[in-house]
Amino acid sequence: METQHFTNYSSYDQIFDIKRLKFIETAVNSLERSHLQILEIGCGNGNISYQLAHSGHYVSGIDIDEKSVQSANRKFQHEKLQFKVMDVCEYIVKEEDKYDVIVCSEVLEHLTNPLTIMRNVNRLLKDNGIAVITVPNGTGPRELFMTRPTQYIYQKDNCFSKIFIGMKKCLGYNGDTPQSSSTSLSHIQFFTYKDVHELADKSSFSICKIAPSSFIEKVFPFSIIYRRVRKLQQFDCWMADRLPIRWTSGFYMIMKKKSMAE
C-alpha cells in the first residue's frame, strides 16, 4: 500500500492507536473506489467508523455493548455514518447489500468463539471486498508481560490484587479505553502468528498483508513514560516495523475471500 496523506479525525491521541487507524484507512483506500459500503463489527466508541466516514464512505458501526454505541452516537455524527446495537451473528443482508469492506479491530481476542464471527464476516462481505482485522499478538510483549499477569491478579480478588489495582489507579490507569466503553474487556483469546493464519483459513480467507502494531509501548513500567512522550511512542512503532513480527505486540491484517485472493 502506498503512503497517503492522513488526517486523524478520531479522538485517538496515542501513536499506537493512530498507527492502527492509519493502517485501516490506507487498506480501505487501496481499493481505489469511492463511496464504499463499510461495516465495522465491534465499533465500540466509534472512532474508526467516524474516521472512515470522513473518507467519503458509507459506514455502519455495530456493537453488542449498548453503552459503547450510546457513546459513539454522542461523540460522532456524520451524514454517512450510523451506529447500531446489534449482534453480527443475527445480521441478515441481501446479496446486493453486502459490504465492500468489513473492519473488526481489537475485538476477536474478547470472544469465546472468534471463528463464528469470522465466518459471518465472510458471509457479509462482497466477493471482491476486503476484511481488515487487528488483534494483539498472544505471545508478544503486551500480552505476555501485561495482559496475562494483570488478568491473573484481578481474578484472585485478594489483598494483593486490591493493592495492585489501587497502585494502577494512582498511576493513572483507571481501565478507560478510547476503543470501547464496555466494562467487560478481558482477553480470552491469545492469538499466535500461526493462529491468525489458521483462523483465516478456517473462515475461507487468505491473509494478503500482515503488519505489526507496536513493541513495548503498552508494557508496564515502560508505559508510564511512553504514554506521556510522543517521540518514544513513535520510536516504539518504528522499532516494531523493523523487528520480526512475532516479537511485536499485535497483528494488523488485510484478508480476501479465498476465491478472490491472488
Amino acid 122: pLDDT? 97
Q: Which domains does the chain have, with CATH numbers?
A: 15-257 (3.40.50.150)
Please report, as a single letter, which amino acid is at residue 1: M
Distances (CA, A) of 145 to 41, 47, 100, 220, 233: 28, 27, 37, 8, 18
Radius of gyration of the chain (CA): 18
Q: How far apart are the first and last CA of the chain?
A: 15
C-beta of residue 251 within 8 angstroms of C-beta of residue 202? no
pLDDT one digit per residue (tens) for the chain, 262 residues: 445 689 999 999 999 999 999 999 999 999 988 899 999 999 999 999 999 999 899 999 999 999 999 999 999 999 999 999 999 999 888 888 999 999 999 999 999 999 999 999 999 999 999 999 999 999 999 999 988 888 777 777 767 565 655 665 665 555 567 788 787 788 999 999 999 999 999 999 999 999 999 999 888 888 889 888 999 999 999 999 999 999 999 999 999 999 754 4
- In the numeric block, the cell 499466535 is attached to 192
Interacting residues of 117 by C-beta distance below 8 A, sequence separation 6+: 41, 88, 89, 104, 107, 108, 111
Q: Is the peptide bond before 141 cis (omega within 30 degrees of 0)?
A: no
